[in-house]
Amino acid sequence: MENLVMMEYFEWYLPDDGNYYKELKSKAREIKESGIDALWLPPITKATGTNDVGYGIYDLYDLGEFDQKGNVRTKYGTYDELIEAIDALHNEGILVYADVVINHKAGADFKETFMAAKVNEENRTEDIEEAHDIEGWTGFDFPGRGGKYSDFIWHFNHFNGVDFDDKTGEAGIYRILGENKGWGYGVSPEHGNFDYLMFADIDHNNEDVRNELFRWGEWFINKVPIDGIRFDALKHIDYNFIRDFIAHLNEKSDRQLYFFGEYWMLDSELKRNYLEETGYLTDVFDTTLHFNLREASENQQYDMRNIFQGTMVYESPANAVTFVDNHDTQPKEALESFVQPWFKKIAYGLILLRKDGYPCVFYGDYYEIKDPYIPGNKDIIDNLLWIRKNYAYGDETNYFEKPTCIGFVRHGNEKHPGSLAVVISTGDADTLVMNVGADQAGKVYKDLTGENEAEITIDEEGNGAFEVAPGSLSAWAEKLD
C-alpha cells in the first residue's frame, strides 16, 4: 500500500461512558472511506480509574476483563468490545496500533517501606538528602485479577523512583536504593538524567522486570490482534530495554509489527542517537516539525523556507512520524503547544501532500476538542486525504523561494502519472512559478482544494504560474472533468 496515513483516534477529553469501542466499530467503514489506513488507539490497559485517559497505568494484563479500580471496563469499554472493534477495522483494511505504557505504574495496591534518597529535581544525579527509610506506594498484586495470566507481584525493588513519601507526606523525587540499582543509562540527559517521569518508575534494568515485561509483551500481541505499538515516554526508557523488547516481540510475533514512539525533544541529534541505539527498530514522532508549525502559526513573519529545519522528516525521513497536534499539545495539557486554527490547512498539507514521513492526523483536529471546545477541520482534512490518495505520488521538487510563499511539486509515478503542484502563502495572495514537467505542456490545471476558481494552462516547458489565496494552501493538478 502507498501513501499510508494513520490517525490518533482520541483526544484528552473523550467522555467516560465506556462507548468508545462500540462507536469505533460503527465508524470503521466511514474511517476507511475518508482515507485513513491505520488507527492509533488510546491505552487499552487498566488505569487508575475509568476517568483516566490511560497513562496512569495500573495493570497491563487487564484489558477490561476484571473488576479493578472501580469497574470491569476501562474508560473505553470491555475487552470483548475492543476485539469486536479491531475485527471491524481489520475487515475494512485498517491497521490498528496500541498505545503501550511501560515507563511507570500507578494506583498501587499497598505501600512498602524502603531506603531512598531525595534528589534535586533539576539534576536527578544529585542527592539533596541522605538516604533514609520512606514509605511508597509500590506494591501491586492485582487482587481483582487473582493471578490470571501472570502471578507476578510488583515490589519496591522493581522500581527505581517514586514521587511521594507517605511516611512524612513530602512530595519530591526519591531514588530507590538497592544492589545494582540506579537511574537508567540510555535515557534523555535532561535534568542530569530524565529516567524518572511520574508515579512509580519502572526499573528496566531489573532482570525480573525485564522478564516479566517480555512475557507480557508476548502475551499482549497474542491476546490482541494489533498491527503495531506506539510507545509512550520513550526518552524516559533505557534504549537498551526498548531495543531488546522490540527484538523479542519481533521474534515471537506471527505477523509483522510496526513500532513508533514519543521522544519529546527538539534536539534532533539525541533522537538520531536513540534511533541508532535501538537499531532503527522504532520510528519516532517529529516533535521539531510540530514546534516549527506552531511557531509559523503564531508568527506570520515566520520564514517558511525554514519550516523543515532540524526536523526528523528532513534528517531521518524513513523514521519520522509527522504530526500537527496530538493529545499532549492540545489546550490545557502539560505539553500545550497548539497550532493555531488558521494554519491547520497549511500544516496538514505539509504532512499529507509531501513525499516523506508517516503522517498522523489528530482526532481533535479532525472531529473536535471538547474542553475547551474547538471545532474540527474534517472537510479540509478529508479533501487533503483525497488529494494524497489520488495525486501525491513520486519524486518531489521544492520551490522554497520566499519567506511567506513556498511550494513543491510531486511528479507522479507509473501508476499515478501527472503532477501535483502545491503552493502555500502565509501572507498575501501570491503566485509561484513551478515546473510540473514538459509532458504536462498544454494541460489545464485546477485547484483541487476548491479555494481558487482559476484555471492554469501549463506552458511548453512545463511551467505554470500557480496562485494561492492569503494565508492558505492550494493544490493544483490536471483538470479531468
> What sign results for the dihedral spanned by CA atoms 198, 202, 204, 206?
positive
Q: How far is CA 439 from CA 353, 392, 443, in A?
A: 21, 17, 9
Per the structure block, which three cell numbers stand in for 477? 493538478
Could you tell me the domains of the chain?
6-103+207-391 (3.20.20.80), 105-202 (2.40.30.140), 396-478 (2.60.40.1180)
pLDDT for residue 371 = 92
Contact 7/361 with Cβ under 8 angstroms? yes
Q: What is the pLDDT, as a whole number, of residue 301?
A: 87
Distances (CA, A) of 86 to 143, 165, 287: 28, 41, 28
Residue by residue, DSSP assigns 90-124 as HHTT-EEEEEE--SEE-S-SEEEEEEEEEEETTEE
Q: Express each pLDDT in 319-375 by its tens digit.
A: 999 999 999 999 999 899 999 999 999 999 999 999 999 999 999 999 999 999 999
Mind giving me the DSSP string for 212-277? HHHHHHHHHHHHS--SEEEES-GGGS-HHHHHHHHHHHHHH-SS--EEEE----S-HHHHHHHHHH
Question: pLDDT tens for residues 286-313?
Answer: 999 999 999 999 998 899 999 999 999 9
Q: Just list the catalytic residues.
A: 232, 262
pLDDT (tens, 9 = 90+) of the chain, 481 residues, equals 579 999 999 999 999 999 999 999 999 999 999 999 999 999 999 999 999 999 999 999 999 999 999 999 999 999 999 999 999 999 999 999 999 999 999 999 999 999 999 999 999 999 999 999 999 999 999 999 999 999 999 999 999 999 999 999 999 999 999 988 999 999 999 999 999 999 999 999 999 999 999 999 999 999 999 999 999 999 999 999 999 999 999 999 999 999 999 999 888 888 889 999 999 999 999 999 999 999 999 998 899 999 999 999 999 999 999 999 999 999 999 899 999 999 999 999 999 999 999 999 999 999 999 999 999 999 999 999 999 999 999 999 999 989 999 999 999 999 999 999 999 999 999 999 999 999 999 999 999 999 999 999 999 999 999 999 999 999 999 977 6
| Nearest alpha carbon to residue 76 among 94, 99, 103 | 99
Contacts of 419 (CB under 8 A, 6+ apart): 409, 410, 411, 412, 436, 437, 440, 477, 478
Q: What is the pTM of this model?
A: 0.96
> What is the pLDDT, as a whole number, of residue 2?
75
3-state secondary structure 347-400: HHHHHHCCCCCEEEEEHHHHCEEECCEEECCHHHHHHHHHHHHHHCCECEEEEE
Longest Cα separation, the chain? 81
User: Measured between alpha carbons, how far is 19 from 259 in angstroms, rounded to an integer?
Assistant: 27
Which residue(s) pair with 59 in the sheet?
A: 46
Residue 300 has a pLDDT of 80
- Write the pLDDT tens digit of every residue in 261-273: 999 988 888 888 9
